[in-house]
A and B are shown apart, each in its own frame.
Chain A
Amino acid sequence: MDDFIAARSQMALSLGFHIIYSCIGMVMPVFMAISHYKWIKTKDPVYKNITIAWSKGVAIFFATGAVSGTMLSFELGLLWPGFMKHAGPIFGMPFSLEGVAFFIEAIALGFFLYGWNRLNTWFHWVTGIVVGISGIASGILVVSANSWMNSPSGFDFVNGKYLNIDPLKAMFNEAWFSESLHMTIAAFSATGFAVAGIHALMIYRNRNVHFHSKAFKIAIIFGAAAAILQPFSGDISAKGAAKRQPAKLAAMEAYFHTQPYSPLVIGGIPDTVAKRVNYGLEIPGLLSFLVHDNFKQQVNGLDKIPFKDQPPVAVTHYAFQIMVGFGMLMMLIGVLYFVALWKKKSWFDKGWFLKMFIYVTPAGFIALEAGWTVTEVGRQPWIIQGVMRTSEAVTPMPGIQYSFYLFTFIYFTLSIFVIFLLKRQIQMVPKLYDR
């Protein structure tokens, strides 16, 4: 394997796993705090049990998220020293602040996990809230660092030199809001659906139905609401990409030829040699409408971009289709949930209704991974859009493929462990929490 491809694969793998751990680690504390609040208010012990059960999940995911995040902070330098040498001082601001937020999260988590029966009830509750808030803040900060790579600002690039650096301007680059918003909502919908799906499975199997029903409800309300909001934030993101990264947008849509009444292509197999999409469903004018709010105005296609500056079209297009597809599915199920909640309470006892949530347990995370694939692959061949190529940033050390194999092994083992531990947590619910 080529060193450059190995370095990219290792980075993709590390990010891919870290994203799952960290999303769960930042959203679960919010669920935990809601359930904790309900316990304090209603004194119904089932809420306390849910809080404790979830807090153990949070501890596991926080630990794996923290170590995989530590790895990433080193991998940025280990794999991309050429990038970090120049980018570090420019986009370091959100990372420094993230360090602070993460530190606060670790402190608050220490209080929360070990604070049962030792701290004042409300102080204890607040520490849980702080875990959630600082976790979300960390996520937003890291994503804004990534958004700088898509929409670099806060410096002048003159003759290969990075001058007049302004870290605050770099942090609040044009893409930071849309990207952070999209990601935060995605974290809620993915985690909400995943957690709800597991509890739905337990209800379906008729185990501790009271416990799991309450847990299901907290998780799915967040998941469903986020899934319904997500398309709106996606629209903001796509308009931003059209403006700042036309190559990315064109690759997402596999849109080769610039034309008025630009069509939206759904599905299909892009043929990059013949520059067309086979078997896709083409809706004329829809892409124009989504980008410019009118059906006629043309959107720039891949033909406007020099070949050497184009991202891999097929991967970006497929990933985008997967993200949108699963996103729509979740939105639909989210709507059905609210219909059930307000009008059709009887659905909750129906097998098909529960099965639906069981089947979509991983959907949010699939969409999330696909979305990150769009962001990262769609930015190629650039590591800093329009400024530095990924190939200029890679480490000179040969033999990166061995490090890639090692990381692959570690991440898969780690994930198997996490799944194993969660399974045992769930298995023990009747013993620990049925009193």
Chain B
Amino acid sequence: MLYVVILFLFAAITLYFLLGGADFGAGIIELFTSTDNKHRTRKTSYQAIGPIWEANHMWLIITVVILFVGFPTIYSEMCIYLHIPLLIMLMGIIARGTAFAFRNYDAIKDEKTQGFYNHMFVYSSFVTPMFLGIIAGSALSGQIDPNARNFADAYIFSWLNWFSVSVGLFTVALCGFLAAIYLVGECPEVYDVKRFIRKAKAMNIAAVILGALVFVASGIEKVHLANWIFGNMISLAAVIAATLSLVLLWFIISDSKNKQWIRVLAAFQVSMILISVGHTRFPRFVIFKDGSSMSLLTDHATGKSIDDLGIGLLVGSLFILPALGYLYYSFKKKAPGQIADDH
């Protein structure tokens, strides 16, 4: 049952990255859209993510619950040493969720308040995935130091280092890329399709550059990322698969018939990156400065808690997955553009 729980944990993280990430990305794209086109981007992203964004963020809750029920030591240690980035991420989540709801449900849509919500939405869409990336990077960076003697070493340099920050930026670029690819398939007008294709390409270039930066930073921080990834077959294969899918994506992106395919490719590419990194360090989840680590295979809750959690997740997914599938299906089969003024 432990493996079932671990599988759910990785699935929840991946799905949150893909779905929640595309969702954050919509805000990132809006941030990097010229003022003239901002309104169009906003309308498209409202239609595309309006009905599903709340559900997308449930994967984070599922991840957290799996961690604190199944791997309580890992959860509590991360909460102690990564308190500050977690706090900033939470601020981002609050600002973003409420700004999105407020801007759509404010009964009076005057420019001043809408402008305020828009600002809140786009900046928090940038900050939140950035700090999610920083947290993920910090878990692997080996900078968390339970033996630290002062505040800065224990609670600040655990996450404020070149490696974690470059992972944060890389995450932002990937989210923007996912969103642009997703939005390509959501807009009825050719003008917007072309715009989002350009954005997808730009975000992809940014991701490649920032990805390279992650490797450079790993050198500075003495994180042996290259050895990890290129040192084992599965991670290497995943990276190669990601690169190939990227090349293919660039070839087919301009053809509007391939909307579904480019989504699959983009999701595949990002999943491969996650698998590559996840596999290379598995079962270690958090690595400490002294080289010790916390492992999913040893630092888990005892027998019955894991069994019940596994059963709960299996039964829960019987309810959730069909409902979620039907939700996506229902709002995809209709032509985009219908949702906007119905209510």
Contacts and interface: CB of A to CB of B under 8 A. Distances in A.
A157 interface: no
Nearest to B108: A424
B68 A77 contact: yes
A372 interface: no
B93 A67 contact: yes
A62 B339 CA distance: 20
The A contact surface, by secondary structure, is helix
Top-3 shortest CB links A-B: A92-B69, A89-B301, A77-B79
Interface centre among A86, A106, A396, A421 (most CB of B within 10 A): A106
A349 B74 CA distance: 62
A102 B324 CA distance: 12
B101 interface: yes
B76 A70 contact: no
B105 A111 contact: no
Contacts of A427: 107-108
B113 to A, nearest CB: 9
Given A118-B334, A417-B98, A66 B57 contact: yes
B307 to A, nearest CB: 9
Interface of A: 52, 55-56, 59-60, 62-64, 66-71, 73-74, 76-78, 81-82, 84-90, 92-93, 95-97, 99-100, 102-104, 106-111, 113-119, 165-168, 395-399, 403, 406, 410, 414, 417, 421, 424-425, 427-428, 432
Given A52-B343, A104-B320, A107-B327, A396 B80 contact: yes
Contacts of A76: 68
B70 interface: yes
Contacts of B62: 99, 103
Contacts of B51: 110-111, 113-114
A74 B72 contact: no
Nearest to A417: B102
B interface, how many residues as a size bin?
35 or more
A87 B76 CA distance: 11
Interface in B264-278: none
Contacts of A399: 151
B312 A100 contact: yes
- Most chain B Cβ neighbours within 10 Å, of A56, A77, A97, A116: A77
Contacts of B107: 56, 421, 424-425, 427-428, 432
B302 A397 contact: no
A249 B247 CA distance: 69
B101 to A, nearest CB: 3
A115 to B, nearest CB: 8
Contacts of B319: 100, 104
A60 B58 CA distance: 17
Given A118-B338, A424-B106, 19 more contacts: A63-B98, A67-B93, A69-B61, A70-B61, A71-B90, A73-B61, A78-B87, A84-B68, A85-B73, A96-B65, A99-B61, A99-B65, A99-B316, A103-B61, A106-B54, A110-B331, A115-B330, A168-B308, A397-B83
Contacts of B327: 107, 110-111
Contacts of A403: 87
Contacts of A85: 72-73, 75-76
B248 interface: no
A93 B93 contact: no
B129 to A, nearest CB: 15
A360 B102 CA distance: 27
B106 A110 contact: no
Contact of A106 (B55, B66, B79, B342): B55
A335 B319 CA distance: 41
A397 B69 contact: no
A64 B106 CA distance: 14
B150 to A, nearest CB: 10
5 contacts: A70-B60, A71-B94, A102-B61, A106-B55, A114-B343
Contacts of B312: 93, 96-97, 100
B95 to A, nearest CB: 9
Centre residue among A69, A109, A114, A166 by max chain B CB count within 10 A: A114
